Structure 1
C-alpha cells in the first residue's frame, strides 16, 4: 500500500517532466527530504514537495490508499502547479534587482525555487563554486550481514547509522574478494578521523608560513632651487643679506674644544662623586658612633639590672665585684683625707656598712635560690608530663599521650595542689586523702613515711591547729612526695630526665675530695686550671672564697672566650685549644701575660678586647695570639705578612709574651701534644 506522500511525489515527477519538455521552470526539493535528493548543478530527477501547511491538509486526515489519495488531491495539486508555473515563468531569464524580495517574485513560504547568480566583473570578482550540502544529520539503514557462527545462508539484520560528514576522506585502499568479487574498503575510510587535541596555540597561521616583506628607501631625494632677476622676471633685493665668512676652524681645534668640555664635565662629575662618598662615610661614621653609644648604654643597663636583681652566680659575682670597688675607693679616700682617730672611726664605719651590704646580698641570695629551686621543680614536672611530639610529613605538630605521660601528669597536678598551703581545710583533707590513695599502690619505706605524715596532718587539722604551725609539716610532705615522683619505679617517665648513675667502680675513680667543704664530689664539680692540677676546692667553695676575698668578676673574660670560640668555629680550624681553655686560663692570659690592655693602642676596656691570631696561617694558641680591640682585630686579620707591617721591636715584644704563655701552659699534660708541634 502506498502512502499519500509517495503518490504525490509520483504525480509531481510526471508533471515536472512535462514542464521540462514544455520549457517551464522547475522547483527544487527543500532540505530535509530523502537522501536521494538531487544536488546543486545536477540535471537528474527532482521531486516536487508539497507543503501540507499551504494546502491546508492535516496529518490525521491523510488517506491510507492510493485511490483515496488520487481522488482527494488531484484538483489541489493542479491548482498549486498552475500557480507556481505562472509565478516562476514570469521570473525566468529576468534580472532581479537588489531591492526586490523573494515574496515579490512569487516565492511562497515553505516552498522552493531555483536562482542563478553571476558576477558583473568576472575578471576582478569571481564567484566561488559552492556545493549545497545538507545539514549534519544521521539516518539509519538496515544491512544484512552473514552470520559466520551460524550455517551458510543465515543472515542477520544490523541497524547502521550513517553520518553525513562534510569532510572528504581520501581513499586509502582496500581489497577485493577473489570468489565473490566484492570490494571492501579500509575502516578509516568509513569512519570519522580522530581529531587532534587542541594545543591552545595556533600552529598554522599565515605569519609563520610567509615572509614579511617591507620596502624602504635608502636615499631621500632633496631638491633645491634658486631664483634671480632675468628677462620677464623681477626679484626684489630689499631683504637680501651680505654674509661674510668667519674664521675657519680646523679639525684639531674642534677636537680640542671637545676635549676641554669633556674634561670639565669629568671634573664636575668626579667632584659630585667625591661629595657623595664623603657624605656616605660621614653617615656611616655617625651610625657607627650611635651604635657604639647604644651598645654602651645597653651594657650599662644590663649591668644595673644584674646588680639590682641578680639571679645567677655570675650576677652575684658582679655584685660582689662592685662592692669591692666601692670599698677600695672609700678606703683610699679615707686614708688620703683623714688621720689618727678619725681615720679609725671612718674605717670602722666603712667595715660596718660593708657587713650590712654583705648580709643584704646574702638574704637576697637565699631568696633567689628558693625561687630558682621552685622554678627548677616546675620545669622538671612540666618536662615529665609533656606528651610525645613529632612533625608529620605535612609539617603539622602531632602529639601523643602514653600511659606513662598520663601518670606523670596526674602526679604533677597533685604536687602543684599540694604546694598551695593557703587552701581551705576541707579541700586540703580531700587532697591528702587522694594522695594517700595514690601512694598506697606501692609498699616501701618512703610510702609508709608519706602516709604517716599525711595522717598526722589530718589529725592536727581536726584539732584546729593554726596554719603557721603546720607549715613545716606540709613542706616535709611536699619534699617526700617530690622524691616519690622522682622515683622511676613509681613514675617511669622520669627515668629519661634523671642523671644515670655510673657503676660503683667507675664512680670511685671519678670522686675528688674538696679541701674546703670536706666532701667527696664528682670531678665535674671542680674547675680545671691552666697548670693541669686542680685547685682542691669545688666550684661552690671557690665562689664563696671569691665573695669573701678577691671578689673577681668573670663576665668580661667569659665574653672573650665565647668570641674566640665563635671565631675559630667560623674559620673551621683543626685545632681545639680554644675549646680546652677555661675562664681562669683566659683571665691569666689577659691579666698576667697581656696586662689587660690592647697590644697596639693600649686600651684598658676589657669588654672591648678580643683575642686574634698573631699569624693567620696557623691555628690559634696561647703562643700564637694577640690581644686587640675589636676594630684592631679586623684590621690585623687582613695582614698577610706581619714582618712587612710591624716593626722588629714590636714583633720581639709579642714573641716574648708567647714564650711566657708557652712556659705557663706547658705544665698542663693535655697541651703537651700541641707544644710538640
Structure 2
C-alpha cells in the first residue's frame, strides 16, 4: 500500500557555549506535516492561466457551543395535596297551597304590600344625580387642594423675595458701612490709596470750580491758597491715620503671634483622637501674653499699674541685653512718675488718674 511521504524541514542552529569555547552547530528537524486533513471550502479557477485557487482554512478548532441554562420552571410540582370535598349543588323546595284537609301555620306569615313601581328611566335619573353630587364634591376638593398649593407657592415666592430683598439691603448697608469704615479708620494700603485718589479728585474739582467762577486774580489766588491749606490739613490727617494704622497693625501682629505661641499643642493618639496639651513653653508664652494685655489696659489704678510694671520688670531681667535694659529703665521712669503723681494727688495738686506713660 502506498503512503504519502511526510515532508520535513531542517535548519542549522549555532549555539554559543561561552567564552573561549567554540560554537556548536546543531541540525534541527521540523515536521511541517499537517495534523489533520484540511477541510475543502471550495475555490475558483482562473480562466486565462488555468490556475486553481482554494479558499483558506484555519487550524484553530471552533469554539464549543455555550451550554444551555437549566430550566427555571417545570409544569409538574413536587408536592401534591389531595382532599375530598362534598358539595350540594341542588336543593329541593316545595310550596304547599291551602286545600281542604290540610292545616297551615300562618302565625309567622306577613303581608307584603308592593311599593310604587320605579321605571328604568327614574333609576337612571337617580344615578345621574348621585354621580353629579359625587363629581361636585370631588372637583371642589381638587380645586381647594390646587388653590392651597398655589397659595403655598405664592407665600414661598413672597418669602424668598423678601429674604432676597433683606439680604440685598443688608449687603448694601454692610458695603456702605465698610466704605465709611475704610475712610474713617483706614488700615490697608488700598484704603489709603482710595483716600488719596478721592482727595486728588476733590482738589481738581474745587480748582476747576474756582477758575470757572470768574473771580479776580487776587480773589482767585486767595481761594486757591485756602484750598491748598485744606488739602494740606487733609494730607496731614491721612498721614496721621497711616501712622495709627501702622501701630494698630503692629499690635495686632504681636497679639496674633503671642496667641499662636500660647496655644496648646495638638497631639494625635493611636486611635486617631486628638488631645490638647499645654507644655512649659506654651505656659510661659501664656504668661507673657497676659503681661502684654495688662500693659495695654488704661483703666488700672496706680497700685495695680505698679504691680504690673514690677512683674514686667522681673520678667525682663531674666534676659540681660540692651533691649531688656532699656525696658527696665522705662519701667523705672514710669513707676517714678506714678509715685510722684500719687504724692501730688495726696497733697491736693491734682485729681486726675494715672496715665500710661510707656509700654
Normalised to the residue count of structure 2, the TM-score between the two structures is 0.43
Normalised to the residue count of structure 1, the TM-score between the two structures is 0.26
